[in-house]
Structure 1
Amino acid sequence: MTNKKSIPIIIGVAQYTQPKETAQAVDPLSLMVKTGQMALNDVGTYDIKEFIDTIYMINIFSWSYEDAPGELSKILGIKPVQKVYLPDGGNTPQTMVNRAAKEISSGKKRVILITGGEAHYTASRTSITPRNWPKRNKPLYMEGKRWNGINKFENHYKLIFPSCSYAIFETAIRAASGRSLEEHKRYIGEVFERFAKIASKNPNSWTKKAYTAEEITTATPENRNINYPYTKRMCSNMFVDQSATLIMTNEKIAEKLKIDKKRWIYLMGCADLKNIHEITRRPQLHDSPAAREGSRLALEQAGLRLENIDKFDLYSCFPSIVEIMMKEIGIPENDTRDLTVTGGNPFFGGPWSNYTMHAIVTTINLIRKNPSLKVMVVANGGYNNKQSFGIYGTDPPVKLWGDNDEAKVQQSILAQILPEPVEEANGQLSIEGYTFAYDRKGNPRRGIVIGHLEDGRRTLAYIEAKTEVLLNLEQQELVGQTFPVHFDSNDNFNVISINDHN
């Protein structure tokens, strides 16, 4: 490092899960006040308040405030020069830690507080849970814009819903793996069984039941089908009340304030990369060049090899993203290392954009208890769009901040973009990935398909058929099969019509 004392460190962390049975459940900002105060306590000296010059706040889905960062600062008694309120995205917490590290190492910032919180469980229960929350107000400022799906064409075919798009990735992954339908169902159930087991032992988890693979993958009234092949327990649980906060500074300030060195944790390596934005324009549906290259860059900065990582926290909104991350990072299917430190989005809880903050806070506390640990945290945003990596440990990075070829790598990823998809398709469609949407009774309503036409160009289509035909199709591997497709000008959709298929 050019200036050793500018090396960024994490010095304070906190998280809190508001119990379901809380009589007077508080709003997201109040949860952030709680974890903000807890994080300040964790630092060990309130003198740190004088040095906090920046606050990063993760986007809040479950409520809205005019100036949440400002209100939080006032209550905590801090006076930041810069207040940043971020747009949504599951990658955001790790992205902000990476950004804070670069700002601190460059000398632009002294101490940064990063926070987020949601109370969607309570907010969704308005009819039965009285609450005395502040009035909703539109934020006065936001760095960037909230996501609204991918684009008009893909949103038109419901890819705007993550359970739909990630389910399509899942069928593409299954076909690429060579597993049968039943083998793959068992496999993803076993992966998430490992997550549920860890969540069951985590005092901060929203769900503390150690579900078995069968309980996760089998549809029941309590675990209904969402999008084939996903049941409810394979999906992130956003109906939680959770908050987490962390505080970062540099070695010089930590030494000045006599903060115990045993509590210093380093961001040893990091990276932030994006995949091609449009799903239909990616060369493959079952990979992530951003994850492949991001993990490599983070390991290089940390001076580590993959075998040096003791634990992972892989973003787990759906099984497909876990599988993609494992493949791209190079984690074998039979690897016994933990793939989550919290229990994951479906079981620990998926507080919208702030899940990974909990993963980072949990990671910091694990390393404090066992200083030899090296943990890789992987955050994901959008629809396998944005990935952020952080490697944590008790050693500083070996490479300078920003001293990597991230921009060059990003350019090479985006250069692989395919031509625009065909919006009005007529001809033969070869399926590359698909899902079925279900009604509330668990019956398939229609299929949603992504594939390519005879000339290789991509398109999207619906499968329209009777329920019994769709149920029959559920029992088959459709990836690789070819069907006639036509554009229905009345409904403005590409349609695969099937009366019978054996």
Structure 2
Amino acid sequence: MTISDRTPVIVGVGQSVERIEAADYQGVSAAELAARAADAALADSGVAEIARGLVKIVGAVRTFEDSNAAPSPFGKPDKFPLAIARRLGITPSRAVLEKVGGQSPVTILAEMGDRILAGESEAALVFGAEAISSTRYLSGKGEVRDWAEALDGEIDDHGFGMKGLLSPLAIAHGITAPPIAYALMENARRARLGLDKASYALAMGALFAPFSAVAAANPYSSAASQALSADEIATPGERNRLVTDPYTIKLVSRDQVNQGAAVLLMSVGAARAAGIPEDRWTFVHAATHAQEKEVLARPALDAYPAANAAIAEALAISGKRIDAFAAFDFYSCFPIPVFNAAIEGLGLAADDPRGLTVTGGLPYFGGAGNNYSMHAIASMVDRLRTEARGSFGLVGANGGFQSKYAALVLSGTPAPWRPLVADPIQQALDTVADIAPVAEANGNGTIETYTVWRAKGVPASAIAIGHLADGSRFVANAADPETLAQAAETDPLGATVSVRFDGKRNLFNFAA
């Protein structure tokens, strides 16, 4: 195959981690962790200084602080991509800050590749990081850091990209935090499968137990950890409290991390001229993206057709069947995205000998904000260079509330660069009609899914989604403490309820 000299190729990857319990812990900022990872990616190329001089464009994954999702008591850079570039001694002609979401490492990588292909630069760096663990730890100790930076220069800020993720009706009923939204989807899946609480909990534990083993062996994991059994993950206890039904804390993404990851792209011509051996090159064979409907508008609350469509298109573009892949990393903030993408979408088994993660997953390796899948890409490149050389790897990156999904196919086998494919996938998904939930619900209904949110293990609120007698969808909160207690102590799936609108929101009581 003849590959154009302008073809972008991955030639360097890097990761960084700072553990609070480590003897050399310093408590550095997210910008510093991103710069360390980017420096490692430059070094990984084997021609760090040549590569540094070639990088004219940089792309940053948006931190949680820049996503309106985390406080910044120590301040932050006003232009995150330029803060990292300054640390690296790079003055880019273009610096990009990507949209919010776990899909963004794939989409920003694809954009940088497009820019290299177009001749804008011979090399590009993409990076991201979080220091949420240090922020909380140092603040709790009363320590102060100055992480604020004001930088000259312009950035191309793609904005938040959060429109359409949650409706005002969902927000009014408390569907605001990821554990709550995902729990509603998870229990909807349990209802479809007809499983009781204990059986489904064990299935989630069995899915994630292999993830914990991978994380325990990963030197870049956010904290020292050990492999866990399915029972240890699924069973509530003093050190594994229920967060929101059906999730224990060991089933929830760990956002208290200090982690950074970066990828260096270079044109084939520049990589060859710099003397980077071809067995260090990793090609992007396909990159795809799709967006899901708003949560309450989805015909099936447990399904994720956007993920399945993005992955199917990535496989089609690469021309590979799933048995050609040697490694996978499915975004695992909670079990259901993995169930949907890997188990139901691709027919893989939880104990597939290839594994479903190369990092260890978000609850165990660490959920580094929007940047988790940059770690997955870096780890996948390492895998494909070594024991899986010549084979293929698939990274599935999830954003929002099962809202956005990007799929990436990687291999050391040469392939021409193909731009991110999104529009044709989206057009097909958008032909399916939305569900219009009832804003002011009154009458009897049946619960299709629910969750009980717990504050430090104590039931604090309950949300139910179901259908009224006429088939229309409702969302409602527990009307009183007695209803909340019954929702927490029983299994409300399929229960008959009385729903009423109180002027602000819908409330439900269990039928007598």
Question: Shared fold by TM > 0.5?
Answer: yes
| Residues 349-405 of structure 1, C-alpha deviations (whole Å, 9 max, x = no match) | 01111111111111111111121342111000000010001111111337x62496x
Q: Is the 8 A contact 1:426 1:486 kept in 2?
A: yes
| TM-superposition CA deviations, 1:337-357 (whole Å, max 9, x none) | 301111100100011111111
Of the structure 1 ranges 4-13 and 104-113, higher mean CA displacement relative to structure 2 is found in 104-113
Amino acid at match of 1:335: D
What letter corresponds to residue 19 of structure 2 in structure 1? P
- Following the alignment from structure 2 to structure 1, what is the Cα–Cα distance between the partners of residues 250 and 323? 31
Match of 1:25 among 24, 27, 45: 27
Residue pair 2:255, 2:368 contacting (<8 A) in 1 also: yes
- Per-residue deviation, residues 207-259 of structure 1 (Å, max 9, x unmatched): 32212222212222322211101111111111010001111122111111111
Is 1:269–1:397's contact at 8 Å kept on the other side of the alignment?
no
The letter of the residue matching 1:485 is: V
CA, structure 1 residues 178+372, in 2 after alignment: closer, same or farther (shift >3 Å)?
Answer: farther
Instruction: Give yes or no for the alignment of 1:52 onto 2:55.
Output: yes
Counterparts in 2 of 1:2 and 1:433: CA distance versus 1, 3 Å:
farther
Q: Which of 43, 47, 51 in structure 2 is aligned with 1:41?
A: 43
Alignment partner of 1:300 out of 312, 316, 340: 316
Unaligned stretches of 5+ residues in structure 2: 66-71
SS of residue in 2 equivalent to 1:210: coil
**TM-score, length of structure 2 as denominator length:** 0.90
Whole-angstrom distance in 1 between the partners of 2:250 and 2:171: 24
Matched, 1:341 2:358: yes
Contact 1:98 1:390 in 2 (8 A): no
Partner of 2:178: 162
Coordinate RMSD, CA, aligned = 2.4
Greater CA drift, 458-467 or 77-86: 458-467
Are 1:180 and 2:196 matched, yes or no?
yes
Tell me how far 1:475 sits from its aligned partner: 5.8
| Residue 481 (structure 1) aligned with residue 495 (structure 2) | yes
Find 2:141's aligned residue among 113, 120, 128: 128
Counterpart in the other structure of 1:288:
304
Deviations 1:150-190 (A, max 9, x none): 12211111211100000000001112223222211111011
Aligned-residue offset at 1:136: 7.0
Residue 275 of structure 2 aligns to a residue whose secondary structure is: coil
In the other structure, the counterpart of 2:98 is 86
Letter in 2 for 1:73: A
Supply the distance in 2 between the matched residues of 1:330 and 1:117 (Cα, whole angstroms).
Answer: 33
- Call closer, same or farther: CA 1:447–1:71 in 2, change over 3 Å: closer
Q: Which among 451, 454, 467 is matched to residue 466 of structure 2?
A: 451
**Of 141, 145, 151, the match for 2:160:** 145
CA contact (8 A) 2:308 2:340 kept: no
How far is 1:302 from its partner? 1.6
What is the aligned-residue identity percentage? Answer: 29
Q: In structure 2, what is the equivalent of residue 397 of structure 1?
A: 415
SS at match of 2:290: strand
CA distance in 2, matches of 1:83, 1:402: 19
Q: Distance in 1 between matches of 2:418 and 2:161?
A: 28
Contact (CA 8 Å) 2:110, 2:420: kept in 1 or not?
A: no
Aligned residue in 2 for 1:4: 4
User: SS in structure 2 opposite 1:124?
Assistant: helix
Cα shift readout 1:116-175 (whole Å, capped 9, x = no counterpart)? 011100101213163433237799863112648612211111211100000000001112
Distance 1:138 1:189, change over 3 A: farther
Alpha carbons of 1:188 and 1:422: their partners in 2 closer, same or farther (altered >3 Å)? same
3-state SS in 2 of match to 1:198 = helix
- The list of structure 1 runs, each at least 4 consecutive aligned residues, that deviate by more than 6 angstroms after superposition, is 136-140
Contact 1:298 1:390 in 2 (8 A): yes
TM-score under structure 1 length normalisation: 0.92
Q: Which stretch shifts more, 56-65 or 127-136? A: 127-136
Query: In structure 2, the residue corresponding to 1:5 is in which secondary structure?
Result: coil
Deviation of residue 267 (structure 1)? 1.3
* Unmatched 5+ stretches in structure 1: none
What is the count of residue pairs matched by the alignment?
493
Structure 1 letter corresponding to 2:207: V
